[in-house]
């Protein structure tokens, strides 16, 4: 196994980027272990690779002694002096071992190590390739569908789009091209596992970054997203340029900028909300499209939103969706009361000063003048709030 071995090392380095010394060290260990299995001992055995010939040679080391108790480990002084008159008691002498039929065993061990290193390197290469896609969108092809998941081929790996990561309104077919968000990539003994989703909020964020230059370059910042994937999403945005309108930038003329994203996500409606550093104002904005009369922050940090009776069901939303998404996107606990049920005395607010509370109510009222501009399409409700 001379030239073949050298050619194998050259191929591994060129094609798999595996350094020869790594494989040589592993083969030396494998041959040592094979020798021990075949001959019952290896404590004095050393395997050395001949770089010129491309061979692995096995050597045993024996100590020069007066009296030999184990010929595999020791050699008598008389025998040592026949080899070299300069040997003394305690010297170590190396002997090349050429045990019967061991060449085949050594070749098998070397082949096994090379194959193992190739598999390990292949796993590492695939992992490095796909780990770059973590927290990004990647496109794949549907290969198989069963009751548990949709199997998506991403090129060199297959990934499972589980039920919780599928948009309920979507129907998948073998051969479909589908965009997915990579939530994680891990390297396992069996290879690289890529975890994907179409329902996580960050997928929507990445889509905005790809479609809207002002989001990509940071002029307009997406502060928070809450989704019922395929149904509705609330997105809080903030402009960092006084000359750029955050909501108008996101939506575009007549919703032109956002429509492609909506179509890609099975018609998922979008509430684009302007950010406010004032919590009460932000919550009022997030509860749109319901008209909010006032928002107060209670002593425990929760929000109380007061609405007209005819706005109560809209503020709550179907199956509580509107208030739930608003609470999620603002990271707040929100209680909603109709105006005819609301009694200020029933709540303890941040201040006990009734005049300050009254002032807070006045400043958080949302009237027709507060809604300076409302852009509506079939799928988008975008609300500007008063600065």
pLDDT digit of tens for each residue in the chain (387 aa)? 566 777 777 877 777 777 788 888 888 888 887 777 766 665 677 888 888 877 778 888 888 998 888 887 888 998 889 899 999 999 998 888 776 666 676 667 777 777 777 788 788 889 999 999 999 999 999 999 999 999 999 999 999 999 999 999 999 999 999 999 999 999 998 889 999 999 999 999 999 999 999 999 999 999 999 999 999 999 999 999 999 999 999 999 989 999 999 999 999 999 999 999 999 999 999 999 999 999 998 878 889 999 999 999 999 999 999 999 999 999 999 999 888 877 766 666 654 444 444 444 443 443 333 333 333 444 555 554 443
CATH number of domain containing 174: 2.40.50.140
Rounded Cα gap, residues 295 and 283, in angstroms: 7
- Per-residue pLDDT, 100: 64
Same domain, 105 and 215: no
Same domain, 138 and 124: no
**Roughly what angle, to the nearest 10 degrees, separates helices 321-330 and 279-286?**
150
Which of the listed residues 86, 112, 130 is the one where a domain comes to its end? Answer: 130
Rounded Cα gap, residues 307 and 225, in angstroms: 24
Bridge-partner residues for 231, per DSSP? none
- Per-residue pLDDT, 377: 44
Which of the listed residues 197, 216, 233 is the one where a domain comes to its end? Answer: 197
Same domain, 223 and 360: yes
Same domain, 358 and 224: yes
Question: Are the C-beta atoms of 74 and 58 separated by less than 8 Å?
Answer: no
- Per-residue pLDDT, 18: 77
Domain span at residue 90?
3-130
- Per-residue pLDDT, 357: 42
- Per-residue pLDDT, 2: 61
Which of the listed residues 130, 146, 172 is the one where a domain comes to its end? Answer: 130
Same domain, 162 and 262: no
The b/e string for 233-256 (b: 16+ C-beta within 10 A; e otherwise) is: bbbbbebeeeeebbbbbbbbeebe
CATH number of domain containing 96: 3.30.1480.10
Same domain, 207 and 348: yes
Same domain, 255 and 328: yes
Same domain, 187 and 154: yes
Same domain, 285 and 271: yes
- Per-residue pLDDT, 237: 98
What is the number of structural domains in the chain? 3
Same domain, 363 and 232: yes
Same domain, 59 and 178: no
Rounded Cα gap, residues 349 and 219, in angstroms: 36
CATH number of domain containing 362: 3.30.300.20
Same domain, 152 and 123: no
Q: What is the β-pairing status of strands 137-145 and 177-188?
A: antiparallel
């Amino acid at each position: 196994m001379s030239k073949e071995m050298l050619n194998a090392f050259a191929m591994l380095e060129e094609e798999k980027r595996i350094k020869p010394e790594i494989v040589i060290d592993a083969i030396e260990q494998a041959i040592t272990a094979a020798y021990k299995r075949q001959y019952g001992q290896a404590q004095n055995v050393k395997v050395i690779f001949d770089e010129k010939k491309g061979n692995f040679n096995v050597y045993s080391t024996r100590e020069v002694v007066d009296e030999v108790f184990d010929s595999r480990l020791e050699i008598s002084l008389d025998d040592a002096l026949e080899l070299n008159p300069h040997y003394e008691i305690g010297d170590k002498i190396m002997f090349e071992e050429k045990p019967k039929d061991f060449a085949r065993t050594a070749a098998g061990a070397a082949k096994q190590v090379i194959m193992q290193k190739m598999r390990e390197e292949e796993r590492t290469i695939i992992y490095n390739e796909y780990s770059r896609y973590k927290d990004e969108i990647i496109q794949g092809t549907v290969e198989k569908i069963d009751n548990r998941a949709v199997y998506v081929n991403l090129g060199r790996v297959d990934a499972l789009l589980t039920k919780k990561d599928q948009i309920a309104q979507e129907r998948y077919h073998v051969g479909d091209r589908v965009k997915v968000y990579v939530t994680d990539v891990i390297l396992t003994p069996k290879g690289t596992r890529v975890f994907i989703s179409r329902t996580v909020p960050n997928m929507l964020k990445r889509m905005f970054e790809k479609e809207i230059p002002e989001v990509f370059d940071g002029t307009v910042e997406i502060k928070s997203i809450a989704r019922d994937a395929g149904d509705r999403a609330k997105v809080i945005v903030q402009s960092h340029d006084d000359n750029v309108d955050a909501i108008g930038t996101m939506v575009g003329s007549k919703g032109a900028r956002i429509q492609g994203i909506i179509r890609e996500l099975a018609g998922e409606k979008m509430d684009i909300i302007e950010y406010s550093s004032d919590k009460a104002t932000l919550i009022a904005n997030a509860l749109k499209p319901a008209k909010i009369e006032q928002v107060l922050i209670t002593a425990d940090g929760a929000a109380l939103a007061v609405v007209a009776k005819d706005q109560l069901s809209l503020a709550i939303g179907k199956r509580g969706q509107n208030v739930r998404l608003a609470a999620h996107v603002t990271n707040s606990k929100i209680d909603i009361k109709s105006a005819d049920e609301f009694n200020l005395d029933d709540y303890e607010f941040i201040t006990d000063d009734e005049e300050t509370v009254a002032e807070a109510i006045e400043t958080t009222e949302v009237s027709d003048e507060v809604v300076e501009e409302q852009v509506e399409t079939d799928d988008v409700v975008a609300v500007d709030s008063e600065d």
